[in-house]
Each structure stands twice: as structure tokens, then as C-alpha cells.
Amino acid sequence: MSDAFITETEIAGAPDGPLAGRTVAVKDNISTAGVATTCGSATLADYVPPYDATVVERLKAAGATIVGKTNMDEFGMGTTTETSHFGPTDNPAAPGHVPGGSSGGSAAAVAAGEADLALGSDTGGSVRCPAAFCGVVGIKPTYGLVSRYGLVAYANSLEQIGPFARSVEEAAELLEVIAGPDERDATTRAPPDAGTSTDDRRGAERSTDGRGAAGASTDGRGDVGTSTADLRYADAADGDVDGLTVGVPTELVDGADEGVVETFRDAIGELEDRGATVEEVTLPSVEHAVEAYYVIAMSEASSNLARFDGVRYGTSGGYDGNWNESFARARKAGFGDEVKRRILLGTFALSAGYQEKYYGKAQDARAWVKADFDSVLSEVDVIASPTMPVPPFELGEGLEDPLKLYLADANTVPVNLADLPAISVPAGETDGLPVGLQLVGPAFGERRLIRAASVLA
């Protein structure tokens, strides 16, 4: 079995539909009825969900064939896919190196041609990082565009399910299938004024409704689930960037690996050759994004993972008259080191007397990051940076140094804090290792990102 998968299977979809004849790999934290969903964890090694995630229902209805459940960092916690209970995944684009994480198996399956398309989840970069490391395309949708129903939660205020593909257009086709409101996830909503305000450039938005993307119509909800016109993405992949303004934040380029920056600059040059203009911008708050992200993500994780007690979910710890000891045994045996570290830190950050000092402060930083992005995106159409400040690590390289891995998330986590959409598209290589370029746009600005990124892949 390929090391990209934890479970290989064949779940056939409807006989026809937009994805008929296409194979899709699904990250193993997305529920598939009757097929194991392990989250890369020993505690869920035997867990078989009784229902499908909304995105899985939509894949089936669109005619896709699901070919397997992919390897991942345990519960999505990691940047290399090495915290998986089921062992590491090699990088098909750079053998001997990690595929990135946490959705490393999904990116590897697509890079190796073992699936046409894949789904991952992105809490702080887990779609974009593996896309960058494996030389494929990955999209992190605007928070609320894609249903999280049936996604096993890690840090629910930050995460979205997103597509992988070998081209921007194919990733957009998959996004088209999974996007749109879901009555079973109250955080989903319809793109405001879809088709006009999310399209093209800021100028176009202003001329159509005078309010820009921020003037979200609150009435558009009901009809969008049925109106496919509002959720078209694939037809935006036309490479037309004439007149587009691209902001490059100094904070997300300074300090990145030299070869990565060089490859990034060359790719930006291709956008300029097609008529885009590039300017330097600044996002001062992102200096605090990694700290804020890890406090929020660990706090939410400590709460979300409370259900794995061996009674409600997870392998039983056995019962000998003391439930506390039973829960402790289940969690000691069921979780790996990284998951334990995060539950401990998250529980501490939320404990009485410390909550304002850590969680409260992190929420303030999150608001500042949001405000910074809004202000820059009122000046430029998209924001560009290297997706990852470093090329893929060698297998085993980062395991002993969690902080080094946390810092590698510097360019991706600010986007989750700000709830914005982003895409990672292959920019080229440095020393034979793939480099990704990240584009960030305004809320529900996926069409604009797809259009710009389609210049490159």
C-alpha cells in the first residue's frame, strides 16, 4: 500500500456529475460512513463513523470515486505528517523529505498520481504547506465557505476543508463541488453578492455595488445552496491578471530561506510579465501571529479532544472502579507526544486565573491581524508571499524540535487568524525541492485568487 494512505478503499459516487470518472483521496479526519476514520491516531485506529461528512456526500453526488483515506499528523497537529501513529509519508516530489503537514498524505497522493484530486483540512496551513512541499496546488477557503460537518475538530474557529489538485483549474472544480452553505454547520454562509463582489479586482467590486466585499448582503443566504452560478470557481482560472495589484509584505519574505525567496521572486515576475503590478506592503501584526495561533489552537484542541476518553470515543482504558483512572489510561495509551503536549498547554492556557493572560491576549492579537489584512487588502487586490519560509525538511529532521516546526508556520497561520482565503501554487524549485507561492485575498475572494494563481499552474 502506498504510504500516502492509511486506508485504501473504493467508494463509488453517482454515475454522473461534474467529478464523474475522477478519483479523490480524502484526509483521514473527514468522516466516511462505513470506512475507518482514524485522524492518524491510535485511539481511533478502529473507529468507523456511521455517517458521511457533508463534503463526502457532495463528492459522491458529484460522481467522484473516493480511493482512500490519507495519512496525516495526529489530529492535524504537525507540519510534516510525522506525528501520525501510522508512520511517515515520503514526498513523491522530493524523496527522502517530508510531504509537509498535516494533510501530507493528501498532497502526496495527488503528487504521485495516486488520485486526481484530494481533500485536506487547514487549521494553520495544513493544506497549503503540503501543497507547497509536494509541488501541487492547495486552497484554504474563506472561513464559512465549506461545511465542517463530519470533520473531526482540532481548532474549530480556525479550520476549513480545502482541495488539492495538480492544476489551479482542477482545484477550483473540486472547490465548486464542496463549497456552499450547509444547514448542519451554522458557521457556513453564502458568499455575499457572489459573482460580482468576489470577482476580479477591487475596482470591479466598487463599480457593481459601491460597497466592496465587506458590504456583505445578509439576505443572500437562502438561495445560494441551489444556485450554482454563485459558486462558480473553475471558469475564473483564465490567467488574466492585467491590472491586478499584488502586495508583498516584507514581514513574510524577510527571514525566509534565500533559495525560497529567489524562486518566489521569479514567480512574481511571471505575474508582472502578464500585466500585474507589484508593491511592497507591511503587516506589522504578523510578528505575533505564531504565538497567538498556537495559544488559540491548543486551547480549542484541549476542549475538542476531551471526548476521546475511551467511553464516548477512543480505545477504552478499561474499568476497575475508578473512572478518572480509566480516562487517564485511555488518553495515555491513545495519544502521541505532540497531542499530549498540546492538550497540556491548552488546558493550562484556559485554566482559572490565566485565561485573560493567554487566551484573551491571543484573541486581541487575532483581531489585530484581521485589521491589518483588511487595511492592506483595501490598497491591493491580493497579497503574495512564499507559502513556507523553508524548503521541505528531510524525514526525521524536525521531530526533536517542536518550536522549529511551529515557526515554519509563520506565513500560513496569519491567514487562518484572519478567516481569509488563500491558495498555494507551485512557484518552482530550489536545489530540486518544490517551493510554493501563497496568494491571500479578501473574504470570499476565491475567484480572484484562482484567476491570479492560474498564471502559474
Catalytic residues: 27, 102, 126
**Contact with ligand GLN (CB under 6 A): which of 161, 297, 369, 449?**
297
Report whether 56 contacts 65 (CB < 8 A).
Answer: no
Q: What are phi and psi of 427, to 5 degrees?
A: -105, -20
CB of 419 to ligand GLN, least distance (A): 14
Three-state DSSP state, 439: strand
If DSSP codes are grouped into helix, strand and coil, which group holds residue 165?
A: strand
Which of 292-306 are b and which e, b meaning 16 or more Cβ less than 10 Å from the residue's Cβ?
A: bbbbbbbbbbbebbe
Per DSSP (E only), the strands in 149-262 are 160-165, 245-249
Q: With CB under 6 A, what is the number of residues at the site for ligand GLN?
A: 13
Interacting span for ligand GLN (CB under 6 A) from 40-48, 71-79, 92-100, 424-432: 71-79
Residues sharing a CB contact under 8 Å with residue 8, sequence separation 6 or more, in sequence order:
1, 2, 67, 68
* Cell numbers that stand for 141 in this block: 477557503
Binding mask 299-328 for ligand GLN (x = CB under 6 A): ------------------------------
Q: Judged by CB under 6 A, which stretch of 118-126, 217-225, 303-311, 435-443 contacts ligand GLN? A: 118-126
* Torsion on CA atoms 247, 139, 294, 189, rounded to nearest 10: 100
Q: Which is closer to ligand GLN, CB of 149 or CB of 154?
A: 154
Q: Smaller CB distance to ligand GLN: residue 140 or 201?
A: 140
Site residues (CB under 6 A) for ligand GLN, limited to 329-368:
none
Q: Which stretch binds ligand GLN (CB under 6 A): 20-28, 73-81, 194-202, 441-449?
A: 73-81
3-state SS assignment for residue 207: helix
- Which of 76, 191, 392, 434 touches ligand GLN by CB under 6 A? 76
122 touches ligand GLN by CB under 6 A: yes
Ranges within 123-142 binding ligand GLN (CB under 6 A): 123-126
Using rule CB under 6 A, residue 198 touches ligand GLN: no
In this complex, which beta carbon is closest to ligand GLN, that of residue 32 or of residue 102?
A: 102
- In the block, cell 530550489 appears at 430
DSSP string of 270-282? Answer: HHHHTT-EEEEE-
Question: Under the rule (CB under 6 A), what is the footprint of ligand GLN?
Answer: 76-79, 102, 122-126, 154, 297, 409
